[in-house]
Amino acid sequence: MTTPLNPTRRTVLNSAGIAAVTLCLGGCAAAGSGSATSGGSSSAGPVTVNAADIPVGSGKIVAPFVVTQPTAGTYEAFSYLCTHQGFPVGEVTDAAIVCEHHGSNFSLSDGSVLHGPATKALTKATVTVSGDTLTIS
């Protein structure tokens, strides 16, 4: 005959705490492995996008990149990670690439800082045009 387990409150709380720490450490390790750091470029492979999907005088976020067309037929691309704290930028307007976390704004044409707190330009990526397809790497 087995005796039913009756854990104490302390045992339950200790087990929950250990589980929470384990979950947090596992998530932190996964988030840190293979990801880019502030100012770095992503380790992801090339991304393709239809040139017609990139508006003139604006752009589009195509993770892990931001692709812009500052003037008709001129395409630029940058890492989508803000150089301030490494968060992905959230929006491309007709004036700037915008990181909504802390308000940094970057130039559509060269990724330079228009408004901080970021102090470094977005990391430039390579755009290859083949017909109506853009390959970003």
Per-residue confidence (pLDDT) for residue 88, from 0 to 100: 95
Q: What is the pLDDT of residues 12-42, one digit of tens each?
A: 445 544 544 444 444 433 333 333 333 344 4
Per-residue confidence (pLDDT) for residue 45, from 0 to 100: 76
pLDDT confidence of 10, banded at 50, 70, 90? Answer: low
Place of tokens 């909504």: 100
Domains of the chain and any CATH numbers = 47-136 (2.102.10.10)
Query: Is the pLDDT reported for residue 105 higher than 50?
Result: yes
Q: Quick check: 102 and 117 in contact, CB under 8 A? A: yes
pLDDT above 70 covers a percentage of the chain that reads 69
Tell me the pLDDT of the chain averaged across its residues.
80
Query: Is the pLDDT reported for residue 84 higher than 60?
Result: yes
Token readout for 16 is 């929950």
List of residues 6+ apart from 107 with CB closer than 8 A: 96, 97, 113, 114, 121
